[in-house]
Amino acid sequence: MSLAKPAMRGLLGKRLRFHLPIAFTLSLVAAAAFKFTVTEPRKQAYADFYKQYDAVKEFNAMKEAGIFESVRPSGE
Share of the chain above pLDDT 70, in %: 96
The more confident residue out of 31 and 67 is: 31
Give the chain's mean pLDDT. Answer: 92
Q: SS3 string of the chain?
A: CCCCCCCCCCHHHHHHHHHHHHHHHHHHHHHHHHHHHHHHHHHHHHHHHHHHCCHHHHHHHHHHHCCCCCCCCCCC
Quote the number of domains for the chain: 1
Domain coverage including residue 41: 11-65
Residue 74 in any domain: the answer is no
How confident is the model over 12-34, as a mean pLDDT? 97
* Residue pLDDT, tens place only, 42-76: 999 999 999 999 999 999 999 999 898 888 888 66
Residue 75 in any domain: the answer is no
